[in-house]
Amino acid sequence: MTSREQIPSNRRWVVKIGSALLTGDGKGLDRQALASWVEQMADWVAQGRELVLVSSGAVAEGMSRMGWSQRPDTIHGLQAAAAIGQMGLVQAYETCFQKHGLHTAQVLLTHDDLTNRRRYLNARSTLRALLELGVVPVVNENDTVANDELRFGDNDTLAAMVANLIEADLLLLLTDQEGLFDSDPRSNPDAKLISESQVDNPELDKFAGGSCTGLGRGGMVTKLRAARLAARSGTATIIAPGAGERVLTRIAAGEDMGTLLVSNQEPEAARKRWLAGHLQVRGRLTLDAGAVKVLRSSGRSLLAVGVKAVDGGFVRGEVVSCVDEQGREVARGLVNYNAQEARRIMGQSSSAIQEILGYVDEDELINRDNLVLV
């Protein structure tokens, strides 16, 4: 579990900077602020830290360049804005980092890149190679060609998935807010900043609100969700005010700024971290009470006999969600049979699979090595 005192020794960081910060609430890239953040990040790298930067701002910068006052409400309009803005965003980062003798690399990802096992491993290998070379990867969603993340995605979640990907020590989410408060500070002048909390504290859900800007797609809700996703790999998260004076340097020194959300979980195996980070499942298995109990208490594989219903059109090897009879998600994992086969063998013992299907690929519907509790 990370504390404020341990932060200075953290070696691998993922930093995410939001759109409102980068673009001065839509006025175009704030190059002065960007240069200050880069200077502080360059200091980290010079001290031996590894850094991955996840940057919002492409759509907002595109809007600024085109003179648009409102975010486009169509997919192709958003994609066009992202394509236009990405040019200025990357140029700005490259110029600033070069002043400090650092090379940068643009890495564009979609959620599909991190939910496809092969592409996930390729992305991880690429990022690790860049870090070993002392290069700063600048990561963004590939908004110009992908649709899903433009409808429901956000760079907070992407940053958390990148933190899982590279097994980061700390995820730093820079925002235009001071951190997470116990009530909305915009309407309650007595709201108190939460300095530190366990990330799985259910009280936090009461305090998180929506985005207060039309530029970004995130808010405290997405930041809390991202912190919980990052916690699956043991990564701590700080939500901090990006506009603060030398905020990055002060946080790196262990100063009490923003909200620190810590995990009490041991880091999961890389494969299970990947499974837990899936945003898109291809189907759903409804389990009986006995199967739910076995998964939660014994860490065993999921057998067909414990399945009561099968939904979706998944194929073998895809990720499915396992829910209890009330529809609450219990686990997810890589399924050994396709949807049609799963429907035929659900509720049946493993010894009956051969007779029902005429063959047996695996005795388990989902092997415990490919299953993670959620």
Domain end point (choices 211, 244, 273): 273
Q: Are 126 and 233 contained in the same domain?
A: yes
Q: Are 175 and 314 contained in the same domain?
A: no
Closest to 6 in 3D by CA, of 235, 268, 244: 235
- Residue 131 in this model has a pLDDT that exceeds 90: yes
Q: Are 236 and 298 contained in the same domain?
A: no
What is the tens place of the pLDDT at every residue in 104-127? Answer: 999 998 877 777 777 888 899 999
Residue 94's CATH number: 3.40.1160.10
Interval 338-344 mean pLDDT: 96
Q: Are 259 and 354 contained in the same domain?
A: no
Tokens describing residue 374: 């959620």
Q: Are 176 and 262 contained in the same domain?
A: yes
**Are 140 and 191 in contact, with CB atoms under 8 Å apart?**
no
- Which residues contact residue 159 at a Cβ distance below 8 angstroms, ignoring those fewer than 6 apart? 14, 15, 16, 54, 139, 171, 173, 226, 230
Interval 30-43 mean pLDDT: 95
Domain end point (choices 273, 307, 324): 273
Q: Are 44 and 185 contained in the same domain?
A: yes
Tokens describing residue 324: 């209890």
Q: Are 260 and 287 contained in the same domain?
A: no
Q: What is the DSSP-derived secondary structure letter of residue 8? A: G
Interval 14-25 mean pLDDT: 86
Number of domains in the chain: 2
What's residue 251's pLDDT? 93
Rounded CA-CA distance 142/150 in Å is 9
Closest to 253 in 3D by CA, of 47, 55, 102, 1: 47
Q: Are 305 and 195 contained in the same domain?
A: no
Domain end point (choices 273, 302, 333): 273
Q: What angle do CA 14, 177, 227 make, to 5 degrees?
A: 40
Residue 304's CATH number: 2.30.130.10
| Domain with 72 in it | 4-273
pTM of the model: 0.79
Q: Are 327 and 257 contained in the same domain?
A: no
**Are 261 and 171 in contact, with CB atoms under 8 Å apart?**
no
Q: Look up residue 336 and give its amino acid.
A: N
Q: Are 249 and 314 contained in the same domain?
A: no
